[in-house]
Structure 1
Amino acid sequence: MTVKTASKIGFQHVGSFLRPNVLKQARKDFADKTITQADLTAVENEAIKDLVNKEVEVGLDYATDGEFRRSYWHLDFFWGFDGIEHIHYGEGYHFAHEETRDDTAILSGKIKFNPNHPFLDHFAYLKSLTDNLDIHPKQTIPAPSQLYIELIRGTNDSKIKEFYPNVNDLYHDIEKAYHDAILAFYNEGARVIQLDDCSWGLFLDDNFLATPDGKAYAESGIQDILLELNNKSIENLPADLTINTHVCRGNYHSDFAFSGGYGPVADTLFAKENVDTYFLEYDSKRAGNFEPLAKVSGDKKVVLGLLTSKSGELEDRQEIINRIKEAAQYLPLDRLWLSTQCGFASTEEGNVLTEKQEWDKLKLVKSIQDEVWD
């Protein structure tokens, strides 16, 4: 096939990479107070420099820092806002087979963007590495909707009433804090920002929806709230800034949180969210069929996450190509692209595979891209 993709997506990895052992040890030493923050930062810098060189070697058009400075894909970013506090909830997130650590983010005041948010320096370092290489920097952050879901999680919700008697003020502050953060990344040179978003998974899983919490979510009209939070946060941005989103069903130590196809959210998420590109998980039968892709509106693109990041076993090449052809029945091939379904280490624990296997996965993605699109 010689179909050209109409997108400017390029070869992208979703975001995170397995943390190298030297970085894991440094983080442990820092937690044990046997090294300083400066020592840890030096180790992080070297690990990220090595990672970016590997990203260039595998042919990626966009580099991430692997989320090497984070413990979680989402919470570390939330903790960087004013008005957000890091506490231990007493209970982790419940995945299909495991429970995570128990960190969370709750309100400690009114939410504001912090101009000294540490992620800005993190991005600046990544950009400094890519400036002299044939690769562009990409910034991944959790979606505004994900912050809202965290703030209303169980007993966290009590803090909302304390600081936001009018919940509309909370929505406004989340939207403004995110809008300000995105513009700050832009001013540092970011031109591709990805909003990682597990919040929509709540509406896909029949088992969850059968629970009291699930029924409450389904009947609350919360999809419209999540949509508005995301859209308001990304409106009136510079024309040369690309906003993508990655819709995830959970990715922790090779485990998942939710199952189910995209049908229940397609009319909202696919038709109305004003992003440029959706990175979607399609690596297993849990993701359902491709029919909901017909709801993707306008000229928005979809990156099919057909290769799993949860296992090192390589997929059958022809099966992946056949599935791309199947998806093209619902969205034209020139609006489709390919990636792994998620990152390799959404938390510092990482998925159950080796560093060699993660790079072999990306090499397979690239070779299939080269065959299906040129």
Structure 2
Amino acid sequence: MINLTYDIVGSFLRPEEIKEARKNFKEGQISREQLTQIEDHAIEQLVEKEVAHGLKYVTDGEFRRRWWHLDWLKEFDGFDTLHFTKEINGTPNEIELGTVTGKIFYDKEKVHPELRAWDFLHSLAQKYDGVIAKKCISGPNMIFIDHFLQLGNKETPYYGTDITTLIDDVAEAYQDAIRDFYDHGCRYIQIDDTSWTYLIDDNFLAKVASLGYTKGQVLNWFQTVSTKALQNKPEDCFIATHFCKGNFKGNPLFHGFYDSVAPVIAEIPYDAFFVEYDDARSGSFEPWKVLRNKDAVFVAGLISTKNPVLEDHDELKARYNEAKKIVGDQIALSPQCGFASVEEGNCIDDETQWKKIDLLVSCADFI
């Protein structure tokens, strides 16, 4: 039974042994099995620490991932990535973008790395009374963002220009994946999808228009595929979504307010909505008043994972109550994002990370 009061978004700063092991694996110095053993040990230590710091819902910190989204999307047949070097904030970075290469589907006969990762996390959580493991996966919209809007493709090798069939296949792939996790004991899934905030940024909207699409058209893709992805989900499987305005090494990628996208997102039958609200650039909570009469939890992301300054407890309480007046009593508290959307992590240190977690848990006195 998921009863959200406070929770984390999912990723944690990677410990040095993980970074070193991934480097050694990439260079061929250790095997996949050796890398997995090192990851397992680090995740076991992480879960122990999460519980010790008072978290009720635990994740594996995304310790097995390079990217928060692409490593999950690679579980689907018909999806692959392209590698680039791109300058971001004055520094060259190795990045990947996803592309549709064939028919999208989730092969239930395969041994999926993400399913194996879930099984291990679930086994760790079961050692503690009252602790539940959460599986974080990226959302279906990211496929469309990368293939059509980032790469500028007008069609795909398998679907041509048939977006409708692509949407149906992506949705079915998610349905199959959700059922697979459920059959392995998963009852709490978080679907991360920053695609919505691409569409509140004027610069990106100009790019959308230059490619011949409209904002309304793309929003329709997103709402349709996200809604269909949740069809046939088990009733006792709690599925949340999270989105923020981008988080690459602690830097935001997009700017704007939620007003135009909140009503669209709120129609998708998620059980909870984790939304970034850690500074003034997020705007007011008013766009989310649409959730007031819905059976869903608004999770206010008031604690920054990008800014090393520790928030003030009383100021968090005031902001939380401000949001509560607008969205109603079904409200919880969280950080605005994970601590490491990519393996390099945000620009904070490990000690600050755990101080932020302790602050979150301490806020239980007013939640």
SS at structure 2 position matched to 1:105: strand
Kept after mapping to 2: 8 A contact 1:95/1:256: no
Deviation at 1:98, TM superposition (A): 5.8
Spell out the pairing of 1:71-86 with structure 2 (5 A cutoff).
71-86=66-81
Deviations 1:342-362 (A, max 9, x none): 000001010011111111101
Spell out the pairing of 1:174-323 with structure 2 (5 A cutoff).
174-209=170-205, 211-213=206-208, 218-270=214-266, 272-296=267-291, 297-323=293-319
Out of 43, 62, 65, the residue aligned to residue 67 of structure 1 is 62
SS at structure 1 position matched to 2:338: coil
**Please, which runs of 5 or more residues in structure 1 have no aligned partner?**
1-5
SS at structure 2 position matched to 1:161: coil
Distance 2:197 2:91 in 1: 17
Equivalent AA in structure 2 for residue 371 of structure 1: D
SS at structure 2 position matched to 1:157: coil
**Please, which runs of 5 or more residues in structure 2 have no aligned partner?**
none
SS at structure 2 position matched to 1:109: strand
Distance 1:128 1:49 in 2: 10
Deviations 1:320-371 (A, max 9, x none): 1111121122112x21111110000001010011111111101101111x22
Task: Give the corresponding residue for 2:97.
Answer: 104
Q: Does 1:330 align with 2:326?
A: yes
Deviation at 1:285, TM superposition (A): 1.2
Distance 1:280 1:98 in 2: 28
Q: Which moved more, 1:218-227 or 1:138-147?
A: 218-227
Distance 1:86 1:123 in 2: 23
Task: Give the corresponding residue for 1:54.
Answer: 49
Kept after mapping to 2: 8 A contact 1:301/1:336: yes
Equivalent AA in structure 2 for residue 172 of structure 1: D
Q: Does 1:32 align with 2:27?
A: yes
Deviations 1:33-69 (A, max 9, x none): 0111111001000000000000100111111000000
**Cα gap change, 1:214 to 1:250, in 2 (>3 Å):** farther
**Cα gap change, 1:99 to 1:294, in 2 (>3 Å):** farther
Equivalent AA in structure 2 for residue 252 of structure 1: F
Kept after mapping to 2: 8 A contact 1:307/1:361: yes
Distance 1:283 1:108 in 2: 38
Spell out the pairing of 1:65-144 with structure 2 (5 A cutoff).
65-88=60-83, 90-92=84-86, 100-115=93-108, 116-134=111-129, 135-144=131-140
**Cα gap change, 1:103 to 1:7, in 2 (>3 Å):** closer
Q: Does 1:372 align with 2:359?
A: no
Spell out the pairing of 1:342-361 with structure 2 (5 A cutoff).
342-361=337-356
TM-score by length of 1: 0.92
Q: Which moved more, 1:65-74 or 1:75-84?
A: 75-84
Deviations 1:54-92 (A, max 9, x none): 01001111110000000000001111211112321x354
TM-score by length of 2: 0.93
Equivalent AA in structure 2 for residue 372 of structure 1: F
Kept after mapping to 2: 8 A contact 1:26/1:43: yes
Distance 1:132 1:76 in 2: 27
The CA RMSD over aligned residues, in Å, is: 1.9
Deviations 1:290-319 (A, max 9, x none): 111211251211110001000221011111
Task: Give the corresponding residue for 2:167.
Answer: 171
Task: Give the corresponding residue for 1:3.
Answer: none
Distance 2:89 2:240 in 1: 27
Distance 1:346 1:223 in 2: 24
Distance 1:335 1:248 in 2: 20
Kept after mapping to 2: 8 A contact 1:81/1:117: no
SS at structure 1 position matched to 2:326: coil
Distance 1:198 1:60 in 2: 24
Kept after mapping to 1: 8 A contact 2:270/2:296: yes
Deviation at 1:154, TM superposition (A): 4.0
